[in-house]
Amino acid sequence: MPDDQQSGAAPIQPVLDAMRASLGPAGVLTDPADLAPYLTDWRGLYHGEAIAVLRPASTEEVSACVRLCAEHGIAIIPQGGNTSMVGGATPEARPRQVVLSLSRMNRVRQVDTADMTMTVEAGLILTRAQQVAAEHGVFFPLSLGAEGSAMIGGLLSTNAGGNMTVRYGNARDLMLGLEVVLPDGAVIHGLRRLRKDNTGYALRHLFVGAEGTLGIITAAVLRLFPAARETATALCAVPSEDAALALFRRFRAADEGAVRAFEYMSGQGMRLVMANIEGAAMPFATPGEHYVLVDLSASREGAGLRGMMEEVLEAAMEAGEVADAALAESEAQRVAIWRLREEHPEAQKRAGASVKNDVSVPVSAVPELIRRASAACLALIPGSRPVPFGHMGDGNIHMNLAQPEAMSATDFLARSHDIMDCVNAVVRDLGGSFSAEHGIGRLKTDMMEEWRGGAELAAMRAIKAALDPQGIMNPGKVLPHA
């Protein structure tokens, strides 16, 4: 039982009874064993409390829950796949709050291959959205390491990026319309399938990237694209960060529209993957210190991507920008190459504690970012292992640091903020951002004042106060305490 009697607030039990009446028994979990997975993030860094997990199955049920919570001053933590890298979906240790899981709202409401749109509910898992698109002969391009768990509502709420942002943009760019339950339970019915819709403030864009602090996304209209009829994928060993960037420029110059992903990985990251991921295999005899993964696609058969890939790589080899390259000869080889990239987070997790810095700089500054931030981290914590990797084509590098083998995880994590400050000093100098795609959650709220203070933060607070005057939506996330 919650401690409402001590706080003098209205008792919780009648509210839970009312929620059960609305959602049915499967819709309200209160058993501590059932709650446990919703109260901890996947990295095991954050643990919180909730009096219940609500699992509505429709927009009307979400609205009914939110109305009850608003009436009784109960905070709501919206949760999708709980794969947030910044503790955004995990409750804090506060009384009178519920987790609202969207997992039962997972229907595909409509696929329209004439308009190239798909209307889906917020709890649809990303891989399922990709599959449904493929079953209709089209393509939904959002793709990231957590795609087997992350849900459309969570992906939009974090404005997720991922592997193909270089070509298709962030989650925001893939969304045309939204259905949202506001903090008082009112519903915005904005599932419009329009390419053009300049009718006042573009409210839909407020909720994308708001990390559940302004309302609950219950459904979305997503954009679809023609399926790829031809692909070419290569893993390249390159001599330096600058060579990696030069290779990106070569591919862009050859055919910008064909570049679907351009990912950077360090030798250190690859070593962690080899040591910790079963079945991971490097296609090169000699290990290197820098790698890039290039993925090309075209919606037309006979587009000549393989030839283009070979031509560009040959020229880059002649210029000393590529030391070795392995081209995927089959779908299995393509998957194996991508696995080396996608297993970076898991390999780091298995290698012990790590501090993650999801940062961005102008694309031209990526080599300098990697060099300067790695050196600064090594100077700060000798023996630590910089693991820079990620979306080079977007200027977005995960400047992660793995703990030294000779240091305890606790001691290392106690330096988290020093490490983030150290990386961020370089990022600031290069005109970058301290959070490129993971958002703020609870991990980075204390950086907001410094980076977004003044008029920007004041405008964010004004929006929050206007939409959520009671502050019940995902408290403690995104905005620092005033």
Ligand X SMILES: Cc1cc2nc3c(=O)[nH]c(=O)nc-3n(C[C@H](O)[C@H](O)[C@H](O)COP(=O)(O)OP(=O)(O)OC[C@H]3O[C@@H](n4cnc5c(N)ncnc54)[C@H](O)[C@@H]3O)c2cc1C
Question: Interface residues with ligand X (CB under 6 A)?
Answer: 42, 77-85, 88-89, 102, 122, 144-146, 149-151, 153-155, 157-158, 160-162, 211-212, 216-217, 345, 437-438, 441, 474, 477
Task: For ligand X, give the closer residue by CB, 55 or 250.
Answer: 55
CB of 233 to ligand X, least distance (A): 17
Task: For ligand X, give the closer residue by CB, 217 or 340.
Answer: 217
- Phi and psi angles of residue 432, each rounded to the nearest 5 degrees, phi first: -105, -165
Task: For ligand X, give the closer residue by CB, 216 or 402.
Answer: 216
CB of 126 to ligand X, least distance (A): 8
Q: For residue 60, how many C-alpha atoms fall within 13 Å in the half-sphere facing its CB?
A: 2
The Cα–Cα gap between 142 and 174 comes to 8
Return the DSSP state at 419.
Answer: H
CB of 312 to ligand X, least distance (A): 25
The helix or strand, by DSSP H or E, that contains position 235, with its residue range, turns out to be: strand 230-237
CB of 181 to ligand X, least distance (A): 8
Region of residue 61 (left: phi > 0; alpha: psi -120 to 50; beta: else)? alpha
DSSP-based three-state secondary structure for 436: coil
Task: For ligand X, give the closer residue by CB, 122 or 340.
Answer: 122
Strands 324-327 and 230-237: antiparallel
Task: For ligand X, give the closer residue by CB, 50 or 305.
Answer: 50
The separation between the first and the last C-alpha atoms of the chain, rounded to the nearest angstrom, is 31
The Cα–Cα gap between 158 and 156 comes to 5
In this structure, the number of other CB atoms found within 10 A of the CB of residue 44 comes to: 8
Task: For ligand X, give the closer residue by CB, 2 or 153.
Answer: 153
CB of 186 to ligand X, least distance (A): 15
- The residue nearest ligand X at its CB is 154
Task: For ligand X, give the closer residue by CB, 179 or 321.
Answer: 179
Task: For ligand X, give the closer residue by CB, 46 or 327.
Answer: 46
Task: For ligand X, give the closer residue by CB, 129 or 238.
Answer: 129
Task: Give the distance from CA 159 to its chain's centroid.
Answer: 7
Is the Cβ–Cβ distance between 192 and 178 less than 8 Å?
A: no
Alpha-carbon Rg for the chain in angstroms: 23
CB of 216 to ligand X, least distance (A): 4
CB of 316 to ligand X, least distance (A): 26
Cβ within 8 Å of residue 284, ≥6 positions away: 237, 324, 326
| 68 token code pair | 């009850």
CB of 148 to ligand X, least distance (A): 9
3-state helix, strand, coil in the chain (%, to 5): 40, 20, 40
The Cα–Cα gap between 201 and 459 comes to 15
Beta-bridged to residue 225, according to DSSP, are 139
CB of 225 to ligand X, least distance (A): 18
